[in-house]
Structure 1
Amino acid sequence: MQRQVCSVINILKRTFSLQARTISGRLLTLPNKHASLLSRSQVRPSALRSVRTMLARTMFIQAEPTPNQDSLKFIPGVPVMKDGGTAEFLSGNSASISPLAKKLFQIDGVRGVFFGPDFITISKDPDAPWQLMKPDIYANIMDFFASGQPIVTEAQPPSDTEIKDDDPEVVQMIKELLDTRVRPAIQDDGGDIEYRGFDNGIVKLKLKGACRSCDSSVVTLRNGIENMLMHYIPEVTCVEQILDEEEAISQFEFEKLEKKLG
Structure 2
Amino acid sequence: MPKIAEIEDTPNPNAVKFTLHEPLSWGIAHSYENPVQAKDDVLASTLFDIEHVSNVFYVDRWLTVTQDGGADWPDLVRLIAVPLRAAPAAQAQSAAMVAAASSAILDLSADDQQRLENINELLDEQIRPSLQGDGGNLHVVGLAGNYLSIHYQGACGTCPSSIAGTLKGIENLIRTIEPEIEVLAV
State if a TM-score over 0.5 links the two structures: yes
C-alpha separation in 2, matches of 1:118 and 1:129: 25
Cross-structure match for 1:74: 18
**Within 5 Å, which residues of 2 pair with 1:49-68?**
59-68=3-12
The answer to whether the Cα contact below 8 Å between 1:116 and 1:187 also exists between their aligned partners in 2 is: no
Q: How far apart are the structure 2 equivalents of 1:64 and 1:190?
A: 9
> Aligned partners of 2:124, 2:102: CA distance in 1, in Å?
10
- What runs of 5+ residues in structure 1 fail to find an aligned partner? 1-54, 243-262
* Cα distance in 1 for residues equivalent to 2:47 and 2:18: 12
Output the TM-score relative to the length of structure 2. 0.84
Tell me how large the CA RMSD over aligned residues is. Answer: 2.5
- By percentage of residues, which structure has more strand? 2
Deviation digits for residues 15-60 of structure 1, max 9, x if unmatched?
Answer: xxxxxxxxxxxxxxxxxxxxxxxxxxxxxxxxxxxxxxxx67xx34
Q: Deviations over 1:83-139 (max 9, x none)?
A: x12011122222122111111111111111101221000000112111221111111
1:24-173 equivalent positions in 2, closer than 5 A: 59-82=3-26, 84-145=27-88, 158-160=101-103, 166-168=110-112, 169-173=114-118
Contact 1:78 1:118 in 2 (8 A): yes
Question: RCO greater where, 1 or 2, for CA within 8 Å and sep 6 or more?
Answer: 2
Match status 1:174 vs 2:83? no
Q: Does 1:219 align with 2:165?
A: yes
- Equivalent residue pairs, number: 177
Identity of aligned residues (%): 29
Task: For 1:221, give the aligned amino acid.
Answer: L
Give the Cα–Cα distance (whole angstroms) in 1 for the partners of residues 148 and 138 of structure 2. 12
Letter aligned with residue 210 of structure 1: A
- Identify, as 1 or 2, the structure richer in helix: 1
Structure 2: gaps of 5 or more residues: 92-96
